[in-house]
Amino acid sequence: LTWELPTVLLIHQMNGHEGAWTILPLMRDFSVTYGRNSSWIFFCEEDTRIQVVKLLETLGRFDGSKEWFLGKALYDEESTIIHHYAFAENPTVFKFPDFAAGWALSIPLVNKLAKKLKSEPLKSDFTIDLKHEIALYIWQKGEGPHLTPVPEFCTYDVNSYKVDHCATTFSNFLPLCGEPVKKEDVFVAVKTCQKFHGDRIPVVKQTWEREAALIEYYSDYADISIPTIDLGIPNTDRGHCGKTFAILERFLNHSSSRTPWLVIVDDDTLISIFRLRKLLSCYDANEPVFLGERYGYGLGTGGYSYITGGGGMVFSRIAVQKLLASKCQCYSMDAPDDMVLGMCFSGLGIPITHSPLFHQARPMDYPKGYLSHQIPVSFHKHWNIDPVKVYFTWLAPNTEESLNGKKVGYNREDL
């Protein structure tokens, strides 16, 4: 085009701020650096593919001197726990952007948000679903516009026949960076307690247990029929920090010293170890890796990121070694284990690695459009669903998985 190349920023390199990934803390930088000479800031994921000419044409349809918030619109079909049951009366009214398709802010809106954030800093709170929280902040506290849906921002696969009009597309495949990690290289620890031995453990055994070569169930009671291991830690109603640290200790000192990866899940986590082994081919087990679905706490005011426990927490052995050597530990037995781990790794300067393929909630808790371009690794919770159906529909190595010799295929839309 003989034009200047666009400026490409990698958020993890900006600002050295633990919460840079939450984007709002960067508004001031954007405003100062680009507020005079640019018209738009366009955000996307690592796997978003951009047709630059089409993107410029699309943005050119909007008056860049006005406040615009553009994206591919998602909405909740029902009010959901991950959005704190917002808009419970009619959740479909509130639209938020699918980050995979990319989204854009006009510079006047960036400047307005920067000014607002300077006079009223972000509250110290949880970051759970960033795309929803950003849309909410822009509209409420930022007194900015609602999201304008843009049909050219797409999440179809680049090879789809539907992409002719698209300025963006998305890679709808599971990352694979070589051979999948060997089955024997992943040790799975399941946290349970006696009251759930009868209803949750049979679900694990009926679904994903067969995918794991190395698996142990940790409980407050030794039941040889499962079998479970009593770690000598009494069960707590919440938090489980004591139990999780005992599992980390045991992995380091009792499991085969050669197993490079540890996965800790709840007894109501549904996970595809088969897909996880593919995903892990993209990470180096000789580095301290802590992987899963990232949440944040107090990031506006110097807090920390953490991997939320329900979707599964993945550790390289070296990450566990560094953590336990640091003597960072639970402040109480029932402290929230995932948050304590986040605090510890943050103190050690070990970054949290986020993957949107891990999920803290059930498929029905996410917009259909959001899940449509994912090959998920995990979901969590059995409330009001048939967890075996959910596993075979969303996570089984082959969806038409054979169950008791019969072919079963379920419709994702129903789940």
- The continuous run of DSSP H or E covering 218 comes out as strand 214-219
- The answer on 147 and 217 residing in a single domain is no
Q: Which of 132-136, 138-142, 299-303, 351-355 has the lowest mean pLDDT?
A: 299-303
Number of domains in the chain: 2
Q: By residue range, what is the domain housing residue 115?
A: 11-170
- The answer on 387 and 249 residing in a single domain is yes
Determine, yes or no, domain membership for 389.
yes
- The continuous run of DSSP H or E covering 204 comes out as helix 201-206
Determine, yes or no, domain membership for 175.
no
- In the numeric block, which tokens belong to residue 407? 């072919």
CA distance 312 to 324: 19
CB atoms within 10 A of CB 36: 9
Last residue of a domain, one of 145, 170, 195: 170
- In the numeric block, which tokens belong to residue 176? 């694979």
pLDDT band at residue 407, thresholds of 50, 70 and 90?
Answer: very low
Answer whether residue 354 shows pLDDT above 70: yes
Amino acid at 170: F
- The answer on 80 and 210 residing in a single domain is no
- The answer on 220 and 262 residing in a single domain is yes
The residues near 140 (Cβ < 8 Å, ≥ 6 apart) are: none
- The answer on 144 and 204 residing in a single domain is no
- The continuous run of DSSP H or E covering 216 comes out as strand 214-219
Determine, yes or no, domain membership for 258.
yes
Average pLDDT over residues 307-324: 97
pLDDT band at residue 85, thresholds of 50, 70 and 90?
Answer: confident
- The answer on 210 and 151 residing in a single domain is no
Q: What is the pLDDT of residues 129-151, one digit of tens each?
A: 999 999 999 999 889 999 999 99
Determine, yes or no, domain membership for 306.
yes
User: Which of 74, 44, 40, 78 has its CA nearest to residue 60?
Assistant: 40
Q: What is the pLDDT of residues 17-76, one digit of tens each?
A: 778 999 999 999 999 999 999 999 999 999 999 999 999 999 999 999 999 999 999 999
For residue 218, the domain's CATH number is 3.90.550.50
SS3 382: coil
Beta bridge partners of 190: 217, 265
Determine, yes or no, domain membership for 411.
no
CA distance 343 to 345: 6
- The answer on 265 and 117 residing in a single domain is no
Determine, yes or no, domain membership for 3.
no
- The answer on 161 and 27 residing in a single domain is yes
- The answer on 87 and 18 residing in a single domain is yes
Q: Are 91 and 79 in contact (CB under 8 A)?
A: yes
- The answer on 354 and 331 residing in a single domain is yes
The whole-model pTM stands at 0.93
- In the numeric block, which tokens belong to residue 286? 């000789």
- The answer on 249 and 142 residing in a single domain is no
Determine, yes or no, domain membership for 415.
no
The residues near 75 (Cβ < 8 Å, ≥ 6 apart) are: 91, 92, 93, 94, 95, 96, 367
Determine, yes or no, domain membership for 4.
no
pLDDT at 348: 96
User: Which of 291, 357, 41, 44 has its CA nearest to residue 170?
Assistant: 44
Place of tokens 């393929």: 357
CA distances from 112 to 24, 32, 64, 145, 339 (A): 12, 12, 14, 11, 33
- The answer on 111 and 78 residing in a single domain is yes
Return left, alpha or beta for 148; rule: phi > 0 is left, psi -120 to 50 is alpha, else beta: beta
User: Which of 351, 340, 357, 358 has its CA nearest to residue 19?
Assistant: 351
Q: What is the phi/psi pair of residue 229, to 5°?
A: -115, 125
CA distance 62 to 58: 8
User: Which of 100, 107, 106 has its CA nearest to residue 48?
Assistant: 100
